[in-house]
Structure 1
């Protein structure tokens, strides 16, 4: 290929490239943005002036009177009460008459009342010459553990309780007692207390060491 042909081909390619770039610009319309230069503030509204009337006085209302006419100020001199004739006069003096104390009343002194102390419990001897005493039998158990539990409960409630184990025809029995009391009257009172506390009907038995 000769040089002349090469130059013509190169020139044709350059013209074709320029045509691709500039030809669309010739046919494209101008896109210009229109700007509205007018203001966007709305027009001022039409405001009519308001006429403010001065307050009118009601003819039916009476004007307020001065304080001096409404209230009467009393001078301090008029507030002092006048002296009465009874206050001016002196009260009659009463002569005090000494009271003579009776010599017999003064000489008497109160006699102290001697309270009779309760007699201590006396030991009542039985036929063997031993002091008699009484126990309150609370319950009997075939199981020793239940008897010990009841005894511990009574001891916790400040009752002098103890147990005794006996051999009977029905087997071993453990009984719970409270006491002893030196006379039957106190044992009876103890029984009543235990009956009420434990909801039982206890027995009163003689104490044997």
Structure 2
């Protein structure tokens, strides 16, 4: 005979199995089933043969009586309009090209710079410009992006007033130890 433990074990397994199978259905309540409703599409529409080719009514032409002999057309002189004394003469517009202005005389002489030196070593020129800018002068190196082998010019300016720059020559010589030259500034070729 089976022992008490085996009987209890089998009974417990049966109760758990019944609980797992039937209890979820009991607690869920009434289930709703969703089913998509669609209409079936017919494979081929039923078309009658006479509907396939529609009859187009024939065009109706109006009957025109033509004259028995050829017609000649006479063009009369244009009539004068009332209130207009003479016809308008319309001339085509002449479009002139945009006028190119020549540079004004004296514009190329309007700016002045003080050239302090020409350097082969770009680093020396940049150090001098930094020293001048720290002192409050408007200093530049030309050309801005020199190529290897190019000479770099250090200038102070440009300024419109020649007398103002010539007064600064002695101060620049004290600051840098270089004797500067007063030159005209050309903005196209600095």
- TM-score by length of structure 2 reads 0.39
**Rg bigger for which structure?**
1
Structure having greater relative contact order (Cα 8 Å, sep ≥ 6): 2
- TM-score by length of structure 1 reads 0.36
